[in-house]
Chains A and B, each alone.
Chain A
Amino acid sequence: MNGKDMVLARYEIRLSGLGGQGILTMGRLLGQALALYHDYHVTQTQSYGPEARGGASRADLVVSSEPISYPKTEYLDLLVALSQEAVASYAHYLKPRGTLVIDTELVRQTPSNLFLGLPFTALARDTVGVPQATNVVALGAVTWLLPFAKPEAVRKSLKASLPEKIRAANLRAFNLGYTEAKKRLGAPMAIPDATDGDGQEEERMELCNIMADD
Chain B
Amino acid sequence: MSQIRKKRREAFLLGNEAVVEGALAAGCSFYAGYPITPSTEIMETMAKRLPQVVDGVFLQMEDEIASMGAVIGASLAGRKAMTATSGPGFSLMQEQIGYAAMTETPLVLVDVMRGGASTGLPTSPGQGDVQQARWGAHGDHPIIVLSASDVPECLEMTVVAFNFAEKYRTPVILLLDEITAHTREKIGLPEPGDFEIFSRLVPTMPPEWYKPYEETLRGVPPMPPVGTGYRFHVTGLSHDPLGFPTARPEEVRAMVERQFRKIDRFFHDIQLVEHVNTDDAEVLVIAYGCVARSARLAVRQAREAGVRAGLLILRTLYPFPRVHAEKLMRNCRLVVVPELNVGQISREVKRVNEGYTAVRTINRIDGQIITPSQILKEIA
Residues on A facing B (Cβ under 8 Å) = 27-28, 31-32, 35-36, 41-50, 69-72, 74, 204-205, 207-209, 211-212
Across the interface, do B371 and A71 meet the contact criterion of CB distance under 8 Å?
Answer: no
Q: What residues of chain A lie closer than 8 Å to B185, measured between beta carbons?
A: 35, 41-44, 71
Selected interface stretch from B166-174, B176-184, B192-200, B221-229 = B176-184
Give CA–CA (A195, B242) in the complex, Å.
69
Within 8 Å by CB of A28, from B37, B179, B184, B297, lies: B184
Across the interface, do B374 and A211 meet the contact criterion of CB distance under 8 Å?
Answer: yes
**In the complex, B122 has a CB within 8 A of chain A:** yes
Across the interface, do B183 and A44 meet the contact criterion of CB distance under 8 Å?
Answer: yes
Across the interface, do A70 and B184 meet the contact criterion of CB distance under 8 Å?
Answer: no
Across the interface, do B186 and A41 meet the contact criterion of CB distance under 8 Å?
Answer: yes
Q: How many chain B residues touch the partner (CB < 8 A)?
A: 27
Q: What residues of chain A lie closer than 8 Å to B377, measured between beta carbons?
A: 208-209, 212
Question: A41's closest neighbor in chain B, by CB?
Answer: B186
With A31-B12, A36-B12, A49-B123 given, is the CB distance from A204 to B373 under 8 Å? yes
Across the interface, do A70 and B296 meet the contact criterion of CB distance under 8 Å?
Answer: yes
With A42-B184, A70-B297 known, 6 other A-B pairs at CB within 8 A are A70-B371, A71-B179, A72-B179, A74-B372, A208-B373, A211-B371
Across the interface, do B123 and A47 meet the contact criterion of CB distance under 8 Å?
Answer: yes
Within 8 Å by CB of B182, from A32, A46, A70, lies: A46
Across the interface, do A205 and B369 meet the contact criterion of CB distance under 8 Å?
Answer: no
Q: What residues of chain B lie closer than 8 Å to A70, measured between beta carbons?
A: 293-294, 296-297, 371-372
Question: A35's closest neighbor in chain B, by CB?
Answer: B186
Across the interface, do A71 and B12 meet the contact criterion of CB distance under 8 Å?
Answer: no
A33 shortest CB reach to chain B, Å? 9
Q: List 28 A-B contacts (CB under 8 A).
A: A27-B184, A28-B12, A32-B184, A36-B10, A36-B186, A41-B185, A42-B184, A43-B183, A44-B185, A45-B182, A46-B182, A48-B123, A69-B293, A69-B300, A70-B371, A71-B150, A71-B179, A71-B185, A71-B293, A72-B179, A72-B369, A74-B372, A204-B373, A205-B373, A208-B377, A211-B371, A211-B374, A212-B377
CB contact list, B278-315 vs A, under 8 A: 290, 293-294, 296-297, 300
A189 shortest CB reach to chain B, Å? 23
Across the interface, do A71 and B183 meet the contact criterion of CB distance under 8 Å?
Answer: yes
Question: A72's closest neighbor in chain B, by CB?
Answer: B369
Give CA–CA (A108, B124) in the complex, Å.
30
With A47-B123, A70-B293 given, is the CB distance from A212 to B182 under 8 Å? no
Question: B187's closest neighbor in chain A, by CB?
Answer: A35
Q: What residues of chain B lie closer than 8 Å to A45, measured between beta carbons?
A: 179, 182-184
Q: What residues of chain B lie closer than 8 Å to A32, measured between beta carbons?
A: 12, 184
A39 shortest CB reach to chain B, Å? 9
Q: What residues of chain A lie closer than 8 Å to B122, measured between beta carbons?
A: 50
